[in-house]
């Protein structure tokens, strides 16, 4: 069995029925809007967050209709944030295809994101799942704060380790943490267990984001070259932060000047990428990523042994071993 087979084995039927459940949750009576929604549905990703919802639910209790609502609420939130992120980042590609803002411009992309987010809130309210609403609202708040903090720090270039972890905890990890918490909340009323799963999910999410940060410095694509996109966007992530924390003040100032003034110069970007690789930035980031992953797995291991626990651990491992 492949890693994905092990992950999906306990929730195969649930994932299959989730397709139609999600289509119903996101649909609109407005023909033009429905055209855009169909385009979004055709370009769906791996559905990792619904998998976190389903496996957390099955590990902590009895799967039920509320679990499907929890998973669709998370996927609606994730979809909405992707649309908004593409506008903020001025990105015109998503999963190998044109993004919504590339095809229909920024105003439509923002409004479609708003619509999808509202559908998620309304669906939980219709079912009177107020705990779900609290968890999702907290995630929206954290993700917005994380994005704004990162934008602010990208302008000033005054980031340190504590700020870096705060950014990724809010911007990325909070959604995975909410996925695990809301799945758990769908099968138990024990808030202590729900918050424990949220805490485990934060460690998973931090490991997930560090993996993404490492990708930016590794060879990939048709030409086999690192993209260096984080440097181009003046984002100081963990591999580069390690180098900045372990170099002389004069060299640190030079690196920061290059990021600030030459971040669009491909030769200078390559110079910085090569520096991070040669100074051990990737090894350090991988070490920290593995520490957060192992901490998350240790938390999951405290739950009774079952097929879903095994699959959830495999999913956590997958977040740090994936190739894209």
Mean of the per-residue pLDDT values of the chain = 92
Q: What is the pLDDT of residue 226?
A: 63
Helix or strand holding residue 93 (H, E): strand 93-94
- Domains of the chain are 3-321 (1.10.600.10)
Predicted model pTM: 0.92
pLDDT tens digit sequence for 98-157: 899 999 999 999 999 999 999 999 999 999 999 999 999 999 999 999 999 998 988 888
CB 189 within 8 A of CB 60: no
**What average pLDDT does the segment 311-317 reach?**
96
Residue 32 has pLDDT above 90, yes or no: yes
pLDDT above 60: residue 225: no
222 or 239, which is more confident: 239
Instruction: Name residue 97's beta-bridge partners.
Output: 94
223 band by pLDDT with thresholds 50, 70 and 90: very low
- Sign of the dihedral through C-alpha 47, 49, 51, 57: negative
Please write the tens of the pLDDT for every residue from 18-30.
988 999 999 999 9
**What percent of the chain clears pLDDT 70, i.e. is strictly above it?**
97
pLDDT for residue 11: 95
Radius of gyration of the chain measured on its C-alpha atoms: 20
Alpha carbon distance 42, 23 (integer Å):
11
Q: How far apart are CA 218 and CA 284, in angstroms?
A: 14
The mean per-residue pLDDT over the stretch 297-301 comes to 98
**Residue 194 confidence (pLDDT) above 90:** yes
Distance separating alpha carbons of residues 319 and 101, to the nearest angstrom: 28
Q: Which residue has the higher pLDDT, 95 or 33?
A: 33
């Amino acid at each position: 069995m492949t890693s994905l087979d092990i992950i999906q084995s306990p929730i195969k039927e649930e994932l299959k029925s989730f397709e139609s459940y999600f289509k119903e949750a996101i649909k609109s009576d407005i023909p033009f809007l429905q055209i855009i929604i169909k385009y979004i549905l055709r370009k769906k990703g791996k559905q990792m967050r619904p998998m976190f919802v389903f496996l957390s639910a099955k590990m902590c209790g009895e799967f039920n209709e509320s679990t499907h609502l929890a998973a669709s609420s998370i996927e609606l939130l994730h979809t909405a944030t992707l649309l908004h992120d593409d506008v903020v980042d001025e990105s015109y590609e998503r999963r190998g295809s044109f993004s919504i803002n590339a095809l229909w411009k920024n105003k439509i992309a923002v409004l479609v994101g708003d619509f999808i987010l509202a559908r998620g809130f309304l669906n939980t309210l219709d079912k009177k799942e107020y705990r779900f609403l609290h968890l999702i609202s907290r995630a929206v708040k954290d993700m917005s704060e994380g994005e704004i903090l990162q934008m602010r720090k990208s302008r000033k270039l005054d980031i340190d380790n504590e700020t870096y972890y705060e950014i990724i905890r809010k911007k990325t990890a909070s959604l995975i943490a909410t996925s695990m918490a809301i799945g758990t909340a769908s099968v138990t009323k024990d808030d202590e267990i729900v918050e424990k799963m949220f805490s485990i999910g934060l460690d998973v999410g931090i490991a997930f984001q560090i993996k993404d940060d490492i990708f930016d410095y590794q060879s990939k694509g048709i030409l086999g070259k690192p993209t260096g996109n984080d440097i181009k966007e003046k984002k100081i992530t963990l591999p580069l932060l390690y180098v900045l924390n372990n170099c002389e003040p004069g060299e640190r100032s030079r690196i920061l000047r290059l990021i600030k003034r030459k971040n669009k110069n491909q030769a200078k970007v390559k110079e910085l990428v090569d520096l991070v690789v040669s100074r051990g930035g990737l090894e350090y980031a991988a070490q920290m990523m593995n520490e957060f992953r192992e901490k998350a797995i240790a938390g999951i291991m405290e739950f009774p042994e079952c097929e879903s626990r095994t699959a959830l651990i495999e999913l956590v491992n997958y977040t740090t071993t994936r190739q894209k």
